[in-house]
Amino acid sequence: MAMKTYKGIPYHLWNPYTQMDRFISFLGMGPTILTRGEGHYVYNDRDQRYINGNSCTWNFSIGYGREEIIEAASRQMRELPFSSCWGLVHPRAIELAARLVQITSGNFAHVYLGSNGSEAVETALKLARQYHRQSPDAKDRGRFKVISLRGSYHGYAYGAATLSGSEDYEAKFGPMVPGFLQIEPPYCYRCPYRKDGYPDCGLACAQALEKTILAEGPESVAAFIMEPVMGEFGVVAPPEEYYRRVGETCRQYGLLFIADEVTTGFGRTGKLFVSQYWDPQPDVLCLGKAISGGYLPLAATLATEAIYQRFQGKQNYFMHGSTNSGHPVCAAVGLAAIDIILREKLPENAARVGTYLKSRLSDLMTSHPIIGEVRGSGLMIAIDLTRDRKTKERFTGDEIYNFLLDAIGRGLLLSYSDWGLSLFPPLNIDEGIADQIVGIMDKTLRTGAIAELDRKARLLKEFAISKL
- Break the chain into its structural domains and give their ranges: 5-62+345-466, 69-343
Q: Mean pLDDT of all residues in the chain?
A: 94
* Conformation bin of residue 384: beta by default, left when phi > 0, alpha when psi is -120 to 50: beta
Q: What is the pLDDT of residues 53-75, one digit of tens each?
A: 999 999 999 999 999 999 999 99
Span 69-343: which CATH code? 3.40.640.10
Indicate the pTM of the whole model: 0.95
Torsions phi, psi of 260, nearest 5?
A: -95, 100
pLDDT tens-digit series, residues 301-352: 999 999 999 999 989 999 999 999 999 999 999 999 999 999 999 999 999 9
Asked whether the CA dihedral 388, 393, 398, 400 is positive or negative, the reply is positive
At residue 2, does pLDDT exceed 90? no
Query: pLDDT-based confidence at 463, cuts 50/70/90?
Result: low
CB-CB contact of 232 with 417 (8 Å): yes
313: alpha, beta or left, given left = phi > 0 and alpha = psi -120 to 50?
left
Nearest to 164 by CA among 183, 176, 149, 177: 149
Query: What does the alpha-carbon distance between residue 342 and residue 290 come to, in Å, rounded to a whole number?
Result: 12
Query: What CATH superfamily is the domain 5-62+345-466?
Result: Aspartate Aminotransferase, domain 1 (3.90.1150.10)
